[in-house]
Amino acid sequence: MSVSMSLVQGGAAGGAPQGASAILAAAAPYYQPPAVPQDVQPDRPIGYGAFGVVWAVTDPRDGRRVALKKLPNVFQSLVSSKRVFRELKMLCFFKHENVLSALDILQPPHLDFFQEIYVITELLQSDLHKIIVSPQHLSADHIKVFLYQILRGLKYLHSARILHRDIKPGNLLVNSNCVLKICDFGLARVEEPDQAKHMTQEVVTQYYRAPEILMGARHYSSAVDVWSVGCIFGELLGRRILFQAQNPVQQLELITELLGTPTMEDMRHACEGARTHMLRRAPKPPSFSVLYTLSSHATHEAVHLLCQMLVFDPDKRISVTDALAHPYLDEGRLRYHSCMCKCCFTTSAGMRQYTADFEPSAGQPFDDLWERKLTSVQQVKEEMHKFIAEQLQTGRVPLCINPQSAAFKSFASSTVAHPSELPALASSMGMTAK
């Protein structure tokens, strides 16, 4: 069932030099890599997103551990190739501490042999799902600083007009210093301003799916991501999935048990059938007081913010910007910018110099007009090939895959990788268990 871990580890532990065992190699023939540390870790699978396998590997240029994502079978259909191209363009567009971006893309072979794409991103050891289900203690400070960073990253995405559409704990990567980055843009797309245009229903893992999507709304907005964040906030507080249903109908049942039966006005985005179904049910009163029982961290302030995220009507749901202005997030913001961010710094005199803009927006919206011009797989392939070549940074040694490496066979054949043992969160920055 699992990718053979012993094979991968055996290859690296067998004493082979790093150059022979590592997946990544320099593509320059006479390149002499700098001396790498003796205790270099073996390449290994760390997980998989909606559309690709991710491995932890070593960059031969600096010995740094990075994540290598393989996007296989890119050119099977026009839809899939355009989706991959969109994700790739987004990864190269993002410049924000709480959003995962591309560090490098491996240069493709000649167009005739161009089948798969390899992207290098920063490596984060864990994700919020693994942390929530672990025995790791989560303090009120942890929850605040995680929620702050989710909203901070999401504000940036929404300001670029990007809807993530699959915000869930597993797509929120976390490193040992509790820095969080939103990842996996396989389902992300640009917001559709035209309300008459239909949008796909196949979005968002069911537990985090907004009621308007569950009720068949043809058009939806960035509010779907806010709903997902509300569900995750509740999950952080209670250490269990807030609305864990077997199917979409039951999902809606659980939501209305908490929020009460929605009014006709609240359901105006829903399709006719879903509205009729809802009205046939016995009316339920709201039961928000249940949220106080999630945990001792569910303070009045926390529940007040949570209730504004978990609003049935997407037009009345709080925006990310307004959520960031809620007093509950003041401590998370202060902690983040005191010792975790890269936008503020401490002077030699020990004074903290804060940035002018704590939650920056994107400088410009993400452009998706190029997508409409692409009408065939071959066209996408040619454009993507050109795009990747353009990303090669001048002065940087290009990387390639080393097919002779011990781990390559396993990597090349892995379609689904399994998370292995991950280190616990470090107790740095004073976020130790109490």
Q: Annotated catalytic sites, by residue? A: 166
Is residue 123 within 8 A of residue 56, CB to CB? The reply is: yes
**Is 69 annotated in some ligand binding site?**
yes
Closer CB to Zn ion, 31 or 345, in the complex:
345
Q: Which of residues 321-340 bind Zn ion (CB under 5 A)?
A: 337
Give residues with Cβ within 8 angstroms of 110, minimum separation 6.
Answer: none
Nearest to 192 by CA among 203, 184, 206, 205: 203
Strand partners, 180: 174
Longest Cα separation, the chain: 75
Region binding Zn ion by CB under 5 A among candidate stretches 80-88, 349-357, 378-386, 395-403: 349-357
For 261, which DSSP code?
Answer: P
Q: How far is the CB of 433 from Zn ion (least distance, A)?
A: 26
The Cα–Cα gap between 125 and 334 comes to 24
Q: How far is the CB of 146 from Zn ion (least distance, A)?
A: 16
Binding test (CB under 5 A) with Zn ion, winner from 20, 36, 343, 424: 343
Task: Tell me the residue ranges of DSSP E strands in 59-191.
Answer: 65-71, 102-105, 117-122, 126-127, 162-163, 172-174, 180-182, 189-190
The Cα–Cα gap between 87 and 78 comes to 14
Closer CB to Zn ion, 31 or 354, in the complex:
354
Binding test (CB under 5 A) with Zn ion, winner from 71, 132, 294, 341: 341
Nearest to 101 by CA among 28, 41, 40, 160: 160
Q: Does 231 bind Zn ion (CB under 5 A)?
A: no
Residues binding Zn ion: number (CB under 5 A)? 5
Residue 132, both tokens: 């929530």
The helix/strand/coil state of 153 is helix
Binding test (CB under 5 A) with Zn ion, winner from 140, 190, 254, 344: 344
Q: How far is the CB of 320 from Zn ion (least distance, A)?
A: 18
Q: How far is the CB of 354 from Zn ion (least distance, A)?
A: 6
Amino acid at 79: V
Region binding Zn ion by CB under 5 A among candidate stretches 43-51, 156-164, 311-319, 354-362: 354-362
Region binding Zn ion by CB under 5 A among candidate stretches 139-147, 341-349, 366-374, 388-396: 341-349
Closer CB to Zn ion, 114 or 358, in the complex:
358
Closer CB to Zn ion, 306 or 329, in the complex:
329
Closer CB to Zn ion, 342 or 434, in the complex:
342
Count other Cβ atoms within 10 Å, centred on residue 169. Answer: 24
Q: Which residues are annotated as a binding site?
A: 69
Q: Which residues are annotated as a binding site for ATP?
A: 69
Q: Which residues bind Zn ion (CB under 5 A)?
A: 337, 341, 343-344, 355
